[in-house]
Amino acid sequence: MSYFLCDEFQNMEPYIPGEQPKDRAYIKLNANESSIPPSPRVLEAVSQSRIQGLGHYSDPHCKQLREAIGETYGVGADRVFVGNGADEVLGFCFMSFFSPRMKLCFPDITYDFYRTYAKTNRIDFEQIPLDTGFHVNVEDYIATDRDIVLANPNNPTGLTLSVSDIERIVADKPNRLVIIDEAYVDYGNESCIPLTEKYANLIVVQTFSKSRNLAGARIGFAIASKEIIDDMNKIKFTFNPFNMSEFALAAGSAAVRDTAYLERCVHSVLATRVRVQKALEKMNFFVAKPHANFLFVSHPYISGGKLCGMLKERGILAL
Amino acid sequence: MSYFLCDEFQNMEPYIPGEQPKDRAYIKLNANESSIPPSPRVLEAVSQSRIQGLGHYSDPHCKQLREAIGETYGVGADRVFVGNGADEVLGFCFMSFFSPRMKLCFPDITYDFYRTYAKTNRIDFEQIPLDTGFHVNVEDYIATDRDIVLANPNNPTGLTLSVSDIERIVADKPNRLVIIDEAYVDYGNESCIPLTEKYANLIVVQTFSKSRNLAGARIGFAIASKEIIDDMNKIKFTFNPFNMSEFALAAGSAAVRDTAYLERCVHSVLATRVRVQKALEKMNFFVAKPHANFLFVSHPYISGGKLCGMLKERGILAL
């Protein structure tokens, strides 16, 4: 640690990226990535002429991409925030709306980023236990006074809350902010985006890293009230005004408009998911009802750690 | 403003991007951009096969790009931080090393971002006046106890401090952090990077947006002690671990290794600069001794505002 690091970061817990060993070629299952290429329209969009023009700054208002997302999801571009990956979108949500000592809660088993950010930035966070079936208990979240972050489907369980359950949480306390992280929503689930029309205390975050096969392009977005999106843009303009590259704006705009390709990719992932689930169940695995592009499994006799080790020996990274 | 925005941001001053009117085609001089395409190696690097593989996350450690920059500047990759544009690099410097109420200073006429960030994040900042010739007075910065941010060459004056003057500032108080923003250093100036070998309180920030003709790709970097870079990476890993896209890593690595192309581009810009300076001086303009890819000029009879208006009428954006 340098002499200069701010004292308040002494207890930070930086995110530790998943293992990426280079000793052999692995089948990587540990980041819920896609092995399908992005829409062919992305290749067209990242054209030679666009690369030749890179001497010019990209649009800091990200108009083209915000309009493309807005049209796809039936909301105005002024209700869309775009970021350099959904992590940056979440980072700007947290930076804008949570100060040190503000009260936040999320499940004890969920996407690690929430804890990492909250701990480092001294937010007063509570991790609410899942129930014995690994489900989020909606009553816990209706009861709490804390602001809320929920991944839906949850990661790594793949289990979901219904949109009507989430509406119960959101509607119950209008001054409580609720962030719903829908990274995996496209795999056959219902989105909470329509609720943002009605509730000013709801932010829905999505990513291009899963169903759009663009993890390496770093594109995420939030949909909320115009006021929330204005706040996030103002905060962005004080931290990094030009946060989206010309590449990200072009690739994202092309990908989001290709809904036919999205459906084909999702269909293909779901077919694989059904096939693998059946095979695992034949081998006595418990498989939690899947709603994402991954399976959450356990075996009656063999521990998860041991299974991961055995898979790694066979060239498969599961953790 | 939404109900949820943190109270401390009530007085924020978001950055206002330069005007980008669409009513006609303009010659844009207002962002010090480059009209030269990037290195042809960038086109090769952003290949079809790389786009096909975008389903996978980019390397959060940014190894390839940090090594390419380290080799080019003769420092270890562990002393290189890379960010989504130099603004993000500066953002992470500020976030890591300046808390609310810490004391910082910079010139009263300089890159607006420092003030924007400092004001929004409630840093106690002082803006030290330039002298009557628009120069930074080195003695002011030796005298102060505040941490320091200096653009060198300064923006928008294009005037420089010598590396030996900056060394005097850095050496004088080893517990005072000094950030030197060298966005325009490649246009014939000397870099402070070699000083980072010797001084643990110096951070040098550079960008690919000017001499590398890659403003739209969003790539910037910092070189400092290993401890400073470690701190910045830890902060990055709590805010946005995958901050560099596969595009940025590929384009940046290809561009930074093409030093012959860099030299050709710089030579071409300097030739234009000499030509335009001579023409302006013939028309009685005062031109501050230029060190960047822009000229800082004034006219004895016509105000800057009026000149900008007249240029805009002629299709040239100067402000």
- Give the pLDDT confidence of A285-312 residue by residue, as tens digits: 999 999 999 999 999 999 999 999 999 9
Task: Give contacts of A56 with chain B, Cβ < 8 Å.
Answer: 28, 31, 33-35, 215-216
Domain extents in chain B: 21-38+260-317, 57-257
Provide the pLDDT for residue A5.
Answer: 93
Q: Which residue of A has its CA nearest to B116?
A: A238
Could you say which of B34, B238, B241 has the minimum Cβ distance to residue A120? B238
Given a cut of 90, whether residue A19 has pLDDT beyond it is: no
Provide the pLDDT for residue A14.
Answer: 82
Long-range Cβ pairs for the range B162-170 (8 Å, 24+): B162/B190, B163/B190, B163/B191, B163/B192, B163/B194, B163/B195, B165/B138, B166/B192, B166/B195, B167/B192, B167/B195, B167/B199, B168/B138, B168/B142, B169/B138, B169/B141, B169/B142, B170/B195, B170/B199, B170/B201, B170/B202
User: Of A61, A80, A249, whose CA–CA distance to B20 is shortest?
Assistant: A61
Q: Which residue of A has its CA nearest to B44?
A: A48
Burial of B17 (0-12, 13-18, 19+ CB in 10 A): middle
Nearest CA distance, B189 vs chain A (angstrom): 21
Do A57 and A50 form a contact (C-beta atoms < 8 A)?
A: no
Provide the pLDDT for residue A21.
Answer: 77
Given a cut of 80, whether residue B21 has pLDDT beyond it is: no
User: Of A165, A177, A158, A162, whose CA–CA distance to A224 is shortest?
Assistant: A177
Provide the pLDDT for residue A98.
Answer: 96
In whole angstroms, give the CA distance from residue A142 to residue B58: 38
Mean pLDDT of chain A: 95
Q: Are B231 and A2 within 8 A, CB to CB?
A: yes
B272-282 pLDDT, tens digit each = 999 999 999 99
Residue count (chain B) = 319
Domain B21-38+260-317 in CATH 3.90.1150.10? The answer is: yes
Residue B274 token pair: 């000499």
Provide the pLDDT for residue B41.
Answer: 95
B288-313 pLDDT, tens digit each = 999 999 999 999 999 999 999 999 99
Intrachain domains B21-38+260-317 and B57-257 with the same fold: no
Q: Which residue has the higher pLDDT, B262 or B14?
A: B262
Amino acid identity of A27? I
Do B238 and A15 form a contact (C-beta atoms < 8 A)?
A: yes
Could you say which of A1, A15, A43 has the minimum Cβ distance to residue B48? A43
Percent of chain B's residues with pLDDT above 70: 100
Given a cut of 80, whether residue A150 has pLDDT beyond it is: yes
In whole angstroms, give the CA distance from residue A159 to residue A138: 13
Q: Are A37 and B59 within 8 A, CB to CB?
A: no
Could you say which of A3, A235, A245 has the minimum Cβ distance to residue B218? A245
Q: Which residue of B has its CA nearest to A91?
A: B239
Q: What are phi and psi of B190, to 5 degrees?
A: -100, 140
Given a cut of 90, whether residue A16 has pLDDT beyond it is: no
| Secondary-structure class of domain B57-257 per CATH | alpha beta
User: Of A85, A60, A54, A219, whose CA–CA distance to B251 is shortest?
Assistant: A54
Provide the pLDDT for residue A32.
Answer: 93
Given a cut of 80, whether residue A136 has pLDDT beyond it is: yes
Task: List all residues 6 or more positions away from A198 whose beta carbon is below 8 Å from its beta carbon.
Answer: none
Provide the pLDDT for residue B14.
Answer: 82
Q: Are A227 and B2 within 8 A, CB to CB?
A: yes
Task: List all residues 6 or more positions away from B198 whose beta carbon is below 8 Å from its beta carbon.
Answer: none
Provide the pLDDT for residue A190.
Answer: 98
Do B208 and B244 form a contact (C-beta atoms < 8 A)?
A: no
pLDDT band at A47 (very low <50, low <70, confident <90, very high): confident
pLDDT band at A25 (very low <50, low <70, confident <90, very high): confident
Query: Which of A203-207, A256-260, B6-10, B159-163 shows the lowest per-residue confidence on average (mean pLDDT)?
Result: B6-10
State the average pLDDT over residues A176-190: 98
Given a cut of 80, whether residue B164 has pLDDT beyond it is: yes
A242-284 pLDDT, tens digit each = 999 999 999 999 999 999 999 999 999 999 999 999 999 999 9
In whole angstroms, give the CA distance from residue A98 to residue A8: 16
Beta strands in B36-172 (DSSP E): 80-83, 103-107, 124-128, 147-151
Do B105 and B150 form a contact (C-beta atoms < 8 A)?
A: no
Mean pLDDT of chain B: 95
Cα separations in angstroms, B174 against A6, A82, A117, B96, B168: 17, 40, 31, 18, 11
Place domain A19-38+260-317 in its CATH homologous superfamily: Aspartate Aminotransferase, domain 1 (3.90.1150.10)
Phi-psi region of B140 (alpha: psi -120 to 50; beta: other; left: phi over 0): alpha
Task: List all residues 6 or more positions away from B47 whose beta carbon is below 8 Å from its beta carbon.
Answer: none
Provide the pLDDT for residue B39.
Answer: 96
Given a cut of 80, whether residue B20 has pLDDT beyond it is: no
In whole angstroms, give the CA distance from residue B219 to residue B228: 19
**Around Cβ A212, how many Cβ atoms within 10 Å?**
27
Q: Are A201 and B4 within 8 A, CB to CB?
A: yes
A168-180 pLDDT, tens digit each = 999 999 999 999 9
Q: Are B57 and A247 within 8 A, CB to CB?
A: no
Q: What does DSSP assign to residue B96? A: H
Nearest CA distance, A74 vs chain B (angstrom): 22
Q: Are B91 and A239 within 8 A, CB to CB?
A: yes
Q: Are B84 and A87 within 8 A, CB to CB?
A: no
Nearest CA distance, A301 vs chain B (angstrom): 33
B92-110 pLDDT, tens digit each = 999 999 999 999 999 999 9
Nearest CA distance, B300 vs chain A (angstrom): 32
Provide the pLDDT for residue B22.
Answer: 76
CATH code at A40-257: 3.40.640.10
On the question of a cis peptide bond just before residue A153, with omega within 30 degrees of 0, the verdict is yes
A79-128 pLDDT, tens digit each = 999 999 999 999 999 999 999 999 999 999 999 999 999 999 899 999 99
Q: Which residue of A has its CA nearest to B224?
A: A2
User: Of B147, B142, B140, whose CA–CA distance to B125 is shortest?
Assistant: B147
The tally of CA atoms less than 13 A away on the side-chain side of residue B15 is 23
Percent of chain A's residues with pLDDT above 90: 89
Q: Are A230 and B28 within 8 A, CB to CB?
A: no
Provide the pLDDT for residue A175.
Answer: 97
How many helices (H) and strands (E) chain B has is answered by 11, 11
B45-72 pLDDT, tens digit each = 998 888 999 999 999 999 999 999 999 9
CA angle A97, A102, A104 (to 5 degrees): 85
pLDDT band at B11 (very low <50, low <70, confident <90, very high): confident
Give the strand pairing for A178-181 and A202-207.
parallel
User: Number of residue pairs across A and B with CB atoms under 8 Å?
Assistant: 273
Do A237 and A55 form a contact (C-beta atoms < 8 A)?
A: no
Given a cut of 90, whether residue A20 has pLDDT beyond it is: no
Provide the pLDDT for residue A23.
Answer: 81
